[in-house]
A and B are shown apart, each in its own frame.
Chain A
């Protein structure tokens, strides 16, 4: 079985290599992208169905300190997440064949997705934290490469750099967290860490998990490291669907769940996680309410939904978090792919350029409606069940303290806002008067390779909730559906009054701050980016004037002294003799003193 896991990881990698180095034909690239993804999906499913824990170590790498064990360890959680990752990846690969096939750089694009799939699987299946970190970072790289896929546009390039750097900032902490836990447990093996955490001091646990949390926040776009995600929407839509909605961002949640016993032993960390989640879910939801760019709406909603998962984790319910992770993966991928279809059709990201599309794109309309329903948590869509589980967990935790109560309240408020922004996006896209688009040479909904994945994804988005046979918690269920509908109702009411204008006008003076996501970017730019640039310029100046200046100065000093000495060499023999005698006198005096 371990071979199966290894193959699942390796095949997409080989696919990436084959795609990059293979013949220059789109057909080859497409095959080499889709087939490994499909096989991996099958293998991942096999592992998940087998339900047996699979683990194996290829080799131990002696580092001189704790060894690194190169191995895989497929737990139940890993297997499930693996299925999610591979299925979404397969969907995206197939979808991309249609979406990107006329793209000049399809080869590298699909290869990077394959590489990403491989890295994600490595993260999911890794038995060792360092190995996990390897995959973790490679995912970051792929994300960078894919966001910057249309690098001709400087904005994309900037977004890619930003995404990489912000996540890397978290990753530095993540790596240090690995060190702390690894040394605490005397091993980097996840298993050892989970079994040995009682031996660690509370301080070690808290510090280690907090540091890991930094990485989680970076990857899963949690406050305060969330700012890269909305910008990352600059990448091709399938990428937004795959990486920035369904899988990569889920990696952070996955890691916390994977190490959950350790996190559970560090209450301080969970409180911090809860606070981050509370801040993130409401803030992002509010920001989503004011965006005009459809993909940015979805991006902020991703942040918000991930925060809900984090909230569930903070409430010590890892299952609820993973449940929501899975359903979210499905419905958010669906939403993005639908958004991709829409954008493909109208050639703009902005909702002000859409409207009335339900007639033109009925399939998209239907599937996206499912997606939005799941997002809002309306029964019977999958999101209803998972969100309910998460909310119930948080409600349960709320009994334990004031802070937790506040978190729970925030979560409920978020549900209402979610209802509002989802409805706004739904209405602005598919209803109202059709916007006139200059570029209307696309007819129909799009190529089959794009439609099929959407339809396929709609099924789990709708039905995945029933897979987990836990009945909804009645109280929270009713409350959340009611809140969601309340939010939706308010937006609908405003929209009804004027079907052309944006219901976000309801926000009044708050609209701009919301749209700018509370100016976090600006603050970061002032606080960090600009000082670093100033510092860099200062360093260059210092290097030239002080550090190198000292070097050059010593050269000049030597030259100057040389000039002084040359002055004495004026050719007059009597000057020479005078110097000689004066020097001799000094030496004689010296000798006499010494003698």
Chain B
């Protein structure tokens, strides 16, 4: 029996480690420092520093440019934790998004009703999960990382203890999530049974010799595994929770769910379907295509008649998930386009959430507000209105929001190239439906507020403004020079 004692490459796991350490520090600081607004700020800054440190480590890894692997077993060699191109993209995305979410949190926590230490601790835990997940190369790691992303979010959602809606949202999120996790785990167990290994790298090989592999079990197992990730990205039929939870949770959590958690889900999907590829793509590609079509359609249709801003964003992000899934429905090669779209989407969507946060903070009566409350925003706070308009137009995929346009072009290109014309047409129609609600909302920003409406206070919050600024800068940069994103998401790099 050969030795299975593993050596650990600490440089490879440095970013999650840094985050985890920061999480502990935050918890300790919270326990020992006196309560007060200044401490709240300090904790926020510490968290921010931790995330930035992790980001710096990630950059260091990227600069070094070679694939790092650790937690390996010999014969056949398989590693559980690999830092390669795809890991770097998803982890980087999660961390940058994390910075924005932390900035939003600082504003959210300013009220003092929410326990600060726990909040930041949980947030950091989620981030650990989110950056571990894309590095995971075995099913155990994948499951644990996924749980690490999910569990803290339940609590984050429920942390507004005084708010029944938050608790309700937490229950719904929790219930759908644990059922999905259970299903996924069941799939993992089946997959383990038919392949004899838990390492992604060995799946394909493991299936070859197994008698059960000739049955329908592997297909079923694969679908069940996907279920866990599909829940994360809120693909149909795992979408129902989205709006209720986004509405009930506080805005930073909604932003987190819509970007970080979703990115983790897509990372998992791509790892299982494309990187591991236990089954030939002929089995899952049509399924993913159908799911993508359903997801975008359902998301858009539900968003169409939404009057509530956050619910609208929730359904729109479901629809956007459909667009991200779509290139995978053209074949494994579509993963590049999916990543590209995800990166663009993250910037635009975070920006939108940040502005919504800014606006809803300005008037605490509005819990995110209805679209009516956005009327005449251009007169109250022009910068916020312009930023929101820009993000919405980006999400709709029209110039001047070139980022969104190029993202859609990338997806369409993949679909046309892959010959999935029907999906391309479905997506084309969906783009139009999507534009309907984005345009309605955008138009509301610029139309005069109804007479007799109370004078709303101007939006003012430094941290959120910085968050908005980050998103704006990112989106503008992506618009002007989308090649940056195409470089990181390019297909060759994924292999």
A–B contact with Cβ pairs below 8 Å: the answer is: yes
Give every chain A residue within 8 A of B291 (Cβ-Cβ): 587
| A77: min CB distance to chain B, Å | 63
Nearest neighbor of B311 in chain A, beta-carbon distance:
A569
Give every chain B residue within 8 A of A577 (Cβ-Cβ): 175-176, 179
Q: Are A559 and B171 in contact (CB under 8 A)?
A: no
Which of B175, B216, B224, B279 gathers most chain A CB within 10 Å?
B216
Determine chain B's interface SS by DSSP, over half rule: helix
Give which listed residue, A559, A566, A573, A587, contacts B287 with CB less than 8 A: A587
Among the 9-residue stretches B45-53, B238-246, B461-469, the one with 4 or more Cβ atoms under 8 Å from chain A is B238-246
| A292: min CB distance to chain B, Å | 65
Asked whether any CB of chain B lies closer than 8 Å to the CB of A568, the reply is: yes
Nearest neighbor of A595 in chain B, beta-carbon distance:
B219
Asked whether any CB of chain A lies closer than 8 Å to the CB of B301, the reply is: yes
Asked whether any CB of chain A lies closer than 8 Å to the CB of B222, the reply is: yes
Q: Which of A568-595 contact B (CB under 8 A)?
A: 568-569, 571, 573, 575-577, 579-584, 587-588, 590-592, 594-595
Q: Which of A542-585 contact B (CB under 8 A)?
A: 558-559, 561-563, 565-566, 568-569, 571, 573, 575-577, 579-584
Chain A 30-63 interface 0/1 with B at a Cβ cutoff of 8 Å (1 = within): 0000000000000000000000000000000000
Size band of the interface chain B makes with A: 35 or more
Give which listed residue, A566, A581, A584, A595, contacts B305 with CB less than 8 A: A566
Give which listed residue, B240, B279, B282, contacts A580 with CB less than 8 A: B240
Q: Are B237 and A559 in contact (CB under 8 A)?
A: no
Q: Are A594 and B287 in contact (CB under 8 A)?
A: yes
Give every chain A residue within 8 A of B171 (Cβ-Cβ): 573
Q: Are B287 and A590 in contact (CB under 8 A)?
A: yes
Q: Are A565 and B302 in contact (CB under 8 A)?
A: yes
Q: Are B237 and A592 in contact (CB under 8 A)?
A: no
Asked whether any CB of chain A lies closer than 8 Å to the CB of B73, the reply is: no
Which of A559, A561, A584 gathers most chain B CB within 10 Å?
A584
Size band of the interface chain A makes with B: 20 to 34
Give every chain A residue within 8 A of B227 (Cβ-Cβ): 584
Asked whether any CB of chain A lies closer than 8 Å to the CB of B116, the reply is: no
Q: Are A582 and B237 in contact (CB under 8 A)?
A: yes
Determine chain A's interface SS by DSSP, over half rule: helix
Beyond A565-B298, A571-B244, is A592–B305 a contact (Cβ under 8 Å)?
Answer: no
Q: Are B222 and A591 in contact (CB under 8 A)?
A: yes
Q: Are B236 and A565 in contact (CB under 8 A)?
A: no
| B297: min CB distance to chain A, Å | 8
Chain A 161-179 interface 0/1 with B at a Cβ cutoff of 8 Å (1 = within): 0000000000000000000
Q: Are B179 and A562 in contact (CB under 8 A)?
A: no
Q: Are B302 and A591 in contact (CB under 8 A)?
A: no
Give which listed residue, B180, B223, B298, contacts A588 with CB less than 8 A: B223
Give every chain A residue within 8 A of B216 (Cβ-Cβ): 591-592, 595
Q: Are A591 and B219 in contact (CB under 8 A)?
A: yes
Give which listed residue, B179, B236, B243, B290, contacts A569 with CB less than 8 A: B243
Asked whether any CB of chain A lies closer than 8 Å to the CB of B284, the reply is: yes
Q: Are A575 and B240 in contact (CB under 8 A)?
A: yes
Give which listed residue, B179, B237, B283, B298, contacts A594 with CB less than 8 A: B283
Q: Are A562 and B305 in contact (CB under 8 A)?
A: yes
Beyond A584-B223, A587-B291, A594-B287, is A573–B301 a contact (Cβ under 8 Å)?
Answer: no
Q: Are A568 and B301 in contact (CB under 8 A)?
A: no
Asked whether any CB of chain A lies closer than 8 Å to the CB of B409, the reply is: no
Q: Which of A258-272 contact B (CB under 8 A)?
A: none
A561 to B286, CA, bound (A): 24
Give every chain A residue within 8 A of B304 (Cβ-Cβ): 558-559, 562
A571 to B222, CA, bound (A): 30
Q: Are A583 and B224 in contact (CB under 8 A)?
A: no
Nearest neighbor of B220 in chain A, beta-carbon distance:
A588
A563 to B220, CA, bound (A): 33
Cross-chain pairs A/B with CB under 8 angstroms, 14 sampled: A558-B436, A563-B305, A566-B305, A568-B240, A573-B175, A576-B175, A579-B237, A580-B231, A583-B237, A584-B224, A591-B216, A591-B220, A591-B284, A594-B286
Sorted from nearest, which 4 A-B pairs have the closest CB atoms? A583-B237, A595-B219, A576-B240, A592-B216
Known pairs A573-B176, A591-B220, A591-B283 / 16 extra A-B pairs, C-beta < 8 Å: A558-B301, A558-B304, A559-B305, A563-B305, A569-B243, A569-B302, A573-B172, A579-B237, A580-B231, A581-B179, A582-B237, A583-B236, A583-B238, A584-B227, A588-B220, A592-B219
